[in-house]
């Protein structure tokens, strides 16, 4: 014999079960929206940068400029999330994201606009930023706003519950996107197909995000708006806000400085751009995880060691010159230093009421750091001084953060700051030593230095592109016109130019350097040099370091395409196919 529950009991149980299932479905929807948004956000970064990389010369600076755009767009996304959460009504907060997501579908399928392709001279940073804005600007900003918006919806639905685990969840998706692109997707799928797949996933994300906005609209009415609610947390202190800003800026400066260092000294390849960025995001996952995944005490000991190793590598560049040692050491150092900065951010995170302000300060600091390293430093420094300067700022900020721990910490970090300032000073002196002239542009710092041959004590001059020597010419005597370094007579290009044909020849050379290959020119030959850096020729003329000057009658003109600067010596010539083949041969020897 069974006893059936009374009808009133059934009526009470069913709504409770429905409410529980609805709440669970909302949590799943919000988590999926955050995950997919973060995955798409960090998948498009290497995807679109790879699309436009050949347009601007394949330089490491292209990656850095893209990072500047991504940090600034992230800031705009967080500003949008902050303002909508603060000022809009629940209905408006659901309608506006839906309308913007529908508008962003007009950007699909994603592809770089051909009208922004490099034409003529000038540094391309502005064109890269403009191209990224018109091609993926709105979708990227909306994806950037997803994490803080969804966390705000979650906090409102849970009446102030901490949503920071969703931040770690979004960073996990970001790391998966960054790792899957170079290891799985990029080797197997063409760029055009990748763009179509991303566009299809973005359309799915737009539907999920719109559904999430409308499904949580009723829950947000419980709080009305953040500016009307004082239930969660006290007022913010200016010192805490400035520390959020400084810690975030130092993390971003470390990311860009180490990324630029690896790309300049190893190779501007995709993996070496993705690896530091993935390491940087991993520190956010560890720092903002619900469970404590690291020991603050152990990190306090590891952090000065990592900062010291990085500082010594700037003091003595040969210390980590090999790729096998330098890449892992710099990535580990980046992880430890950024984990300290982001761990301090996590320890200082505010209550749910100030969530969007917290993320806004993090994104603002990241944008400031990225703009300084990616845009400001190349225009105010003649060499890469921003790397040691970043280390000094990190040490000074650490002394500020740990000031209240006592005199031991103050003295230690004060001494560390002085040591890193000394490293910066030595870096400046070493770059100025024996330098005739130094300039810096979008691509890299250029310098011409005096040298002497230890065997015969003959003077020569060397052109350095960053840390790499790109040409040598003796100052006087018959050796002045002698082809040197890896373009000498026994080299592959030297043999080709000496033996390729008996008559006059037309030669195209990609990259001017110091014009060493012009030493092989004879009467009737035609040599054209394609140079992506307009300042290169002016630098060499100013320092009298160029093989073409003493023997060739030059005239200049602007060429079209990726390499806009050409120097010509025009006489009788043979066919252009020889020029093209030799250009390819020269490119393979660089």
Residues in the chain: 590
Distance CA 204, CA 36 (A): 9
Number of helical (H) and strand (E) elements in the chain, helices listed first: 18, 8
- Residue 424 near residue 385 (C-beta atoms within 8 A): yes
Measured CA to CA in angstroms, residue 414 lies from 234, 250, 251 at distances of 33, 17, 20
> Alpha-carbon dihedral of residues 571, 576, 582, 584, nearest 10 degrees?
140
Please give the model's pTM, rounded to 2 decimal places: 0.79
Cis (ω within 30 of 0) for the bond into 163?
A: no
Beta bridge partners of 508: 528
Any idea where the domains of the chain sit in the sequence?
A: 29-226+235-430, 484-589
Per DSSP, the residues of 116-164 read GS--SSS-THHHHHHHHHHHHHHHHHHHHHHHHHHHHHHHHHTTS---H
pLDDT, one tens digit for every residue, the chain (590 residues)? 445 455 554 445 456 565 566 667 777 788 888 899 999 998 998 899 888 888 887 677 888 888 899 989 988 988 888 888 777 777 777 788 889 999 999 999 998 887 777 555 567 888 889 899 999 999 999 999 888 888 777 766 654 456 666 777 787 888 889 888 888 888 889 888 999 999 999 999 999 988 888 776 655 444 444 444 444 446 778 888 899 999 999 999 999 999 888 887 776 677 788 889 889 988 988 888 767 777 778 888 889 899 988 888 888 777 776 777 888 889 999 999 999 999 999 888 887 677 778 888 888 999 999 999 988 988 888 888 899 999 999 999 999 888 888 888 888 888 988 988 988 888 888 877 777 878 787 777 888 888 887 777 788 888 887 777 777 888 877 777 788 888 888 888 888 888 877 777 788 887 777 778 888 877 777 878 777 766 655 565 555 555 555 444 443 333 333 333 333 333 333 334 344 333 333 333 33
State the DSSP code for 375.
I
29-226+235-430 CATH pick, 3.30.230.10, 1.20.1250.20, 3.90.650.10, 1.20.1250.30? 1.20.1250.20
Provide the sign of the torsion angle of the four alpha carbons 129, 247, 328, 164, taken in this order.
Answer: negative
Q: Which residue has the tokens 């991303």?
A: 198
């Amino acid at each position: 014999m069974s006893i059936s529950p009374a009808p009133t009991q059934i009526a009470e149980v069913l709504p409770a079960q429905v409410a529980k299932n609805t709440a669970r479905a909302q949590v799943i929807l919000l988590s999926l929206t955050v995950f997919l948004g973060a995955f798409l956000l960090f998948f498009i970064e290497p995807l679109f940068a790879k699309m436009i990389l050949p347009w601007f010369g394949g330089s490491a600076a292209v990656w850095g400029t893209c990072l500047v755009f991504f940090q600034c767009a992230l800031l705009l996304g967080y500003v949008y999330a902050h303002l909508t959460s603060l000022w809009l009504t629940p209905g408006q907060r659901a309608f506006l994201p839906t309308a913007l997501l529908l508008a962003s579908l007009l950007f699909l399928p994603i592809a770089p606009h051909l009208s922004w392709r490099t034409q003529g001279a000038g540094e391309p940073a502005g064109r890269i930023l403009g191209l990224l804005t018109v091609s993926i600007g709105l979708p990227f900003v909306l994806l950037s706003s997803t994490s803080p918006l969804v966390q705000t919806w979650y906090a409102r639905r849970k009446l102030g519950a901490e949503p920071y685990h969703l931040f770690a969840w979004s960073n996990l998706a970001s790391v998966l996107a960054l790792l899957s692109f170079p290891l799985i997707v990029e080797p197997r799928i063409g760029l055009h197909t990748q763009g179509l797949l991303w566009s299809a996933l973005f359309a799915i994300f737009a539907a999920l995000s719109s559904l999430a906005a409308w499904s949580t609209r009723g829950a947000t009415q419980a709080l009305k708006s953040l500016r009307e609610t004082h239930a969660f947390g006290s007022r913010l202190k200016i010192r805490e806000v400035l520390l959020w800003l400084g810690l975030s800026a130092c993390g971003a400066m470390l990311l860009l400085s180490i990324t630029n260092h690896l790309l300049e000294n190893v190779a501007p390849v995709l993996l070496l751009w993705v690896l530091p960025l993935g390491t940087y995001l991993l520190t956010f996952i560890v720092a903002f995880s619900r469970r404590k995944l690291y020991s603050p005490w152990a990190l306090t000991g590891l952090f000065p060691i990592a900062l010291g190793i990085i500082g010594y590598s700037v003091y003595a560049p040969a210390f980590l010159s090999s790729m096998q040692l330098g890449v892992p050491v710099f990535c580990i150092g980046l992880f430890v230093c950024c984990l300290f900065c982001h761990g301090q951010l996590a320890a200082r995170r505010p209550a749910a009421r100030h969530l969007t302000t917290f993320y806004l300060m993090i994104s603002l600091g990241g944008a400031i750091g990225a703009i300084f390293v990616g845009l400001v430093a190349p225009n105010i420094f003649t060499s890469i001084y921003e790397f040691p300067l970043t280390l000094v700022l990190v040490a000074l900020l650490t002394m500020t953060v740990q000031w209240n721990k006592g005199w031991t910490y103050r003295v230690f970090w004060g001494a560390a700051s002085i040591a890193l300032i000394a490293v910066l000073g030595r870096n400046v002196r070493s770059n100025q030593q024996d330098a005739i002239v130094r300039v810096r542009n979008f691509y890299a710092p250029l310098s011409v230095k005096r040298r002497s041959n230890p065997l015969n004590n003959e003077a020569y001059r060397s052109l350095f592109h960053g840390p790499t020597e790109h040409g040598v010419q003796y100052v006087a005597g018959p050796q002045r016109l002698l082809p040197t370094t890896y373009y000498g007579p026994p080299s592959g290009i030297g043999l080709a130019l000496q033996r390729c044909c008996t008559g006059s020849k037309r030669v195209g050379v990609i990259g001017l350097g110091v014009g060493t290959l012009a030493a092989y020119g004879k009467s009737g030959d035609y040599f054209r040099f394609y140079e992506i850096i307009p300042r290169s020729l002016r630098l060499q003329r100013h320092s009298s370091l160029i093989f073409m000057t003493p023997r060739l009658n030059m005239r200049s003109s602007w060429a079209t395409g990726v390499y806009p600067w050409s120097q010509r010596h025009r006489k009788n010539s043979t066919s252009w196919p020889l020029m093209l083949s030799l250009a390819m041969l020269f490119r393979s020897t660089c």
